[in-house]
Structure 1
Amino acid sequence: MARVLLSMLVMVASFGCSQAARDNKGTEFILTFPENFQRDQNRPKLFIACPHPTGARVTITLPYNGDTDTVTVNHGRVEEVELRREAVELRDSEKSDGGGRAVHITSDVEIVVYGVFAELKSSDAYLALPTDVLGTEYYAACSSIARNRNQEGWDDMPSQFGVVGVHAGTTVTIVPSQAVEFDRRNYGAGQAFSVVLDRFETLQVQATEDLTGSKITATQPVAVLSGNTFAYCLPMGERQRGTGDHLVQMIPPVDTWGEEFVTVPLSRHRGGDLFRVVAARDNTQVDVTNENAKTLNAGEFWEIDIPSDEYRHVTTSEPVLLVQYSKTGSADNTATDPFMMIIPSVAQFEAEYTFSTVDLLYDPSRTTHHINVVTSSADIAGLRLDEQPLPSDTVWHDVPGTRYAAAQLTVSGGTHTVRHMSPIVTTGLFSYGFTYLESYGYPGGLRLAQIAAPCSTTAPVPADRVDNDCDGRVDEELLNGIDDDGDGLIDEDLAIGNCADHRRQYETCLLQRCRNMAP
């Protein structure tokens, strides 16, 4: 038995050296900041968190002017790095001059990065995606247009998206959903045009109509961010008015989109939240709790206004992008403001998160930070927030027609962790915050497995974020000789939670595995 135990430990140790997982943590990021209408000259920032216990050594380079900064990011802390606005902010509807407005971030260990553009009365933030998960096909998500603003040189506030080159000689093809002017040339809705981007070069496309559903493809992976210079996030067809905000999110590539989602209302709001379902394929059927089903073609979207006391289940026949929008605080007389937030599919939920809150400017004393959490109803007890059980007064709401439950929690400012005691129990986490006239929101993290790409079965490597058995799920088994997910297969798609990392169940797990292996 001792010899078998030793062999098991050697095997488990070797699994710890598997390839980098496909998720929002990484060692290289290339990003940018789409235009913010506000001109108070508050600088964009990076918020950098390090899940690694030894900390990280991080280098930030601005290719536009060659600025380089190296910082140490300690475990459990957020390092804030201010950036020169003129070197990183996209402007107008054109290819950026001077070699682009990219930000290049490298680290000696995996880190979590946020882009934060906190201007007075016009703030938002996004979760950055590392270069190893970027793709070649995207669709933009934006919002309805704020008209007649007559401020900072604009009348109608544009919707927009930005693209960043990651490799030299990349041809980017854009099919706008609305008529646009780009580099002083006009293109009609649906009229494709192409731009060549080298590494770190950038472009921005703007229009005074909603650019949601615009398609971006590239010959090599690129980064894509989309949103609005300023928006109110009221339902389409309603007059757009009230308090508004800058909108931005970094968009995941189509090959990581999913087919099942859970919607959770935002804290503090009483007048409901907007959701948009964006399709990438023709004849995509979308089913939403309490709604009549709809069929979308590629580039089409469905906007749904969901009341603040309802939790919904969204399923689709083809992969889609789901985005949640916080409405203007004027919609329900609350001290909130608009933001947009990517909602990962259930298949891309993580087993553990390290995430950070964002400091808001207009009224810091009234800022509140919140998280929405989604997990299986049967697994609620195993959740840990900052290594402690969730507060005893946490209220859970069952999601009708599913095995999931969701809760809203208020958290303090700073860095937090959420994980489950079992490595194969995944959780959805969404982080957001409000003060009067400002807000932010983004997913706390997500897996970025290529679950929407063609799939071939592969040998299981623990925590590889690959759908090894092509069942639409990722890393759902423990290395324990047991059919954990009930599909008739054993140890076919392994989580990080092998016997050496089975959280307080090490001995039971390891002995069970050894018994299964023993002659």
Structure 2
Amino acid sequence: MARILFSLLVLSAFFGWNRAARDNKGTEFILTFVESFQRTATKNPELFVATPHQAGAFVTITFPSSGFITQVQVTYGEVKLVELDREAVELRGSIKSDKSVHVESDVEIVVYGVFAQWASSDAYLALPTDVLGTEYYVPCTAVYRNFQQSGVRFDVPSEFGVVGVHDGTTVTIVPSQAVTFDRQNYAAGQTFSVGLDRFETLQVQTPEDLTGSKIMATHPVAVLSGNMFASVGSDRGTGDYVVGMIPPVDTWGKEFVTVPLTKHTAGDIFRVIAARDNTQVNITNENTKTLNAAEFSELDVPSDEYRHVASSEPILLVQYSKTGSIDQTETDPFMMVIPPVTQFDTEYTFATVDLLSDRTEPTHHINLVVSSQKKSGLRLDGVQLPSNTVWHDVPGTDYAVAQLDIPAGTHTVRHLSPIVTVGLFSYGFVYPESYGYPGGLRLSRIAASCSTTTPVPADRVDNDCDGRVDEELLNGIDDDGDGLIDEDVANSNCAGNRDQYRTCLQNRCRNLLP
């Protein structure tokens, strides 16, 4: 009977009867846009929507504050651009408001929030409501000081925004800097609370770096952070709006790989943020660092170095593109969350972003991370990578990394084996604008307390509590070398026959029956 039940569980995973996998694809998103500095030549924020489903997706987009609704059909292989009303969705000031956008789909989609302004653009990969959490620490950047606009000099603020997903949510904030919120002053480290209902929003701003600010909520919330306008790596030169949607602490990891951004020659900035006291962080070519909760460490990594980052407790790693004037390149700042290797996926559907300053000159790029022995199984848009792809080994690891130029549009990356995961980072430049975000990621609760569970293929659950998910094939073999067999399975036992997965799975289940 147990074998029959397990067979049914395997079939249910394939035919979609199990709960949705925890990743950046979803059927519901509740989003907002933290404030952009640029007010001239104004362009509205946009959603870019893509779907991995060949039949396409039917998507409904609502402004809850006004009741405005629009519906669009998203075609497989294309990016659907949906323009939003800036006044309805952009947070303003350090106050509570109701400036959210609600996105629903009949099938899973991938969503990007894009705020492309002339000379000040960035975008973020949206996270669906089913992977949001209740604990966050936010990354921002150093504040752009003495910025001059219309003859007035001022410090451009850093910021973070929070969106309510459930009614009756209490959001507790511990700012890393002194802030004023709703005309009340709070010192650095002073806790204050705000009530949010579903679709309500808040934004906190201050002319200091808010990195390390803590957000706790009684129900899951969405969190975004960044700066209205920042110059990264130098207090002079071009700046940009920077933003990212932040994963909750229970999805953070302990191992990362850093890859330099193409075009840059003066290196990239990385920040490591801790969520727990006495977190030991080891980074290639750096001394061991000890961070307490809410503390961060900043690294300036040369453009020809590939680093390995390992920690004793879960951390958040964020990469920043520097201002183009620091190395005389046609680039600009952006902020990009770097997923831990345990949250890499086996396949991605992702899209590039249109930039405004010169529509004839944008360049789009991806960085890839994969096991050195598994490079040949990678497919970009269904075909092998170009034969001239240059790979670099990451010292002290079995990972290799590559930088590729790609055309504008929607793309796919996958590995032929369902247990070989790949890191993918998508970004683009045109002087003086840029964007960057992870091409996708798993959002399994690998940093939460864990209890062993029955394995169901592709459930994105850490069934064996080893900090990894879906690392085995259902084949009676110890694929990951940990002494256990079929304890945390991916959605196929036929790595070389992915396209015949249905037949393969059915045959496997028949073999399990008595």
Normalised to the residue count of structure 1, the TM-score between the two structures is 0.94
- Aligned twin of 1:133: 131
Q: 1:518 to 1:104 in 2, by over 3 A?
A: closer
- Aligned twin of 2:433: 438
Residue 14 of structure 1: how far off its partner (Å): 2.5
From 366, 371, 382, the equivalent of 1:376 is 371
From 121, 143, 146, the equivalent of 2:144 is 146
Q: Distance in 2 between matches of 1:400 and 1:367?
A: 32
Residue 233 of structure 1: how far off its partner (Å): 1.1
Q: 1:500 to 1:371 in 2, by over 3 A?
A: closer
Q: 1:195 to 1:501 in 2, by over 3 A?
A: farther
Q: Does 1:344 align with 2:339?
A: yes
- Aligned twin of 1:49: 50
Residue 307 of structure 1: how far off its partner (Å): 0.2
- Secondary structure of the equivalent of 1:149? strand
Q: Sequence identity, in percent? A: 71
- Aligned twin of 1:158: 157
Residues 325-373 of structure 1: CA deviation (Å, up to 9, x unaligned) = 0000011000000000000000000000000000000011110000000
Q: Is the 8 A contact 1:122 1:230 kept in 2?
A: yes
Residue 8 of structure 1: how far off its partner (Å): 11
Q: Does 1:391 align with 2:391?
A: no
Q: After the TM superposition, which residues 103-502 of structure 1 pair with which residues of structure 2 at under 5 Å, given as runs?
A: 103-151=101-149, 155-234=154-233, 240-499=235-494, 502=497
- Secondary structure of the equivalent of 1:378? helix
Q: Distance in 2 between matches of 1:264 and 1:330?
A: 21
Q: Is the 8 A contact 2:492 2:501 kept in 1?
A: no
Residue 516 of structure 1: how far off its partner (Å): 7.2
Q: Distance in 2 between matches of 1:373 and 1:439?
A: 19
Residue 155 of structure 1: how far off its partner (Å): 1.3
Residue 314 of structure 1: how far off its partner (Å): 0.1
Residue 497 of structure 1: how far off its partner (Å): 2.1
Aligned amino acid, residue 382 of structure 1: G
Residue 11 of structure 1: how far off its partner (Å): 6.7
Q: After the TM superposition, which residues 499-514 of structure 1 pair with which residues of structure 2 at under 5 Å, given as runs?
A: 499=494, 502-503=497-498, 513=508
Aligned amino acid, residue 429 of structure 2: F
Residue 499 of structure 1: how far off its partner (Å): 4.7
- Secondary structure of the equivalent of 2:113? strand
Q: 1:53 to 1:511 in 2, by over 3 A?
A: closer
Q: 1:81 to 1:483 in 2, by over 3 A?
A: same
Q: Distance in 1 between matches of 2:421 and 2:170?
A: 37
Q: Is the 8 A contact 1:249 1:341 kept in 2?
A: yes
Residue 514 of structure 1: how far off its partner (Å): 7.6
Residues 461-481 of structure 1: CA deviation (Å, up to 9, x unaligned) = 111110000011101111112
Q: 1:211 to 1:506 in 2, by over 3 A?
A: closer
- Secondary structure of the equivalent of 1:330? helix
Q: Distance in 2 between matches of 1:160 and 1:278?
A: 16
Q: Distance in 1 between matches of 2:137 and 2:216?
A: 9
- Secondary structure of the equivalent of 2:61? strand
Q: Distance in 1 between matches of 2:317 and 2:176?
A: 18
Residue 500 of structure 1: how far off its partner (Å): 9.8
RMSD: 2.0
- Aligned twin of 2:36: 36
Q: Bigger CA drift: 407-416 or 9-18?
A: 9-18
Residue 13 of structure 1: how far off its partner (Å): 3.6
Q: Distance in 1 between matches of 2:452 and 2:437?
A: 32
- Aligned twin of 2:68: 67
Q: 1:309 to 1:92 in 2, by over 3 A?
A: same
Q: Is the 8 A contact 1:213 1:299 kept in 2?
A: yes
Q: Is the 8 A contact 1:500 1:506 kept in 2?
A: no
Residues 105-143 of structure 1: CA deviation (Å, up to 9, x unaligned) = 000000000000000000000000000000000001000
Q: Bigger CA drift: 153-162 or 46-55?
A: 153-162
- Secondary structure of the equivalent of 2:312? strand
Q: Is the 8 A contact 1:258 1:452 kept in 2?
A: yes
Q: Is the 8 A contact 1:175 1:189 kept in 2?
A: yes
Q: Is the 8 A contact 1:172 1:219 kept in 2?
A: yes
Residue 67 of structure 1: how far off its partner (Å): 1.1
Normalised to the residue count of structure 2, the TM-score between the two structures is 0.95
Residue 504 of structure 1: how far off its partner (Å): 5.6
Residue 219 of structure 1: how far off its partner (Å): 0.4
Aligned amino acid, residue 328 of structure 1: T
Aligned amino acid, residue 120 of structure 2: S
Residue 515 of structure 1: how far off its partner (Å): 10
Q: Distance in 2 between matches of 1:393 and 1:339?
A: 28
Q: 1:492 to 1:154 in 2, by over 3 A?
A: farther
Q: 1:363 to 1:463 in 2, by over 3 A?
A: same
Q: Is the 8 A contact 1:348 1:448 kept in 2?
A: yes
Aligned length: 507
Residue 252 of structure 1: how far off its partner (Å): 0.1
